Amino acid sequence: MLPVVNGTVTGSLITVSIAAGSALDPVGGMALIQTPSTGSFLATRNDATTFTVLTATCTHEGCTITGSSGTTFVCPCHGSRYSTSGGVVNGPATRALRTFSSQFANGVLTFSEPPA
């Protein structure tokens, strides 16, 4: 089970504070970001200043991805596995997860949810 981190939504911008000790504080850290209104996202810290942010919605049947195994995200419904960059490692999913452009500054990760 991935650690859960809460995000704040302002308009289409989602912000996540990354404090010392947070699941996303160390390089390689992975977490499920939950927001009150825009859903869930997966985040991985790539290095000191960059993150990869993905939708947490499995492309197979729309389940929320809540688990990980090593460096892959795992869907609890049918076992699809995705790399930390969103690519399919193991099916039944055949499409990659959607990625979001993100920025990190002053301990805050920000990314935008595009309009539906």
Per-domain residue ranges of the chain: 4-111
Listed in sequence order, the residues at least 6 apart from 26 whose beta carbon sits closer than 8 Å to its beta carbon are: 45
Residue 67 and residue 61 in contact, taking contact as beta carbons nearer than 8 Å = no
| pLDDT tens digits, 61-87 | 999 999 999 999 999 999 999 999 999
| pLDDT tens digits, 21-52 | 999 999 999 999 999 888 899 999 999 999 99
Name the pTM for this structure. 0.94
For the chain, the farthest-separated pair of C-alpha atoms sits apart, in whole angstroms, at 39
CATH number assigned to the domain covering 4-111: 2.102.10.10
Query: Coil, strand or helix: which one is 41?
Result: strand
Confidence of residue 4 (pLDDT cuts 50, 70, 90): very high
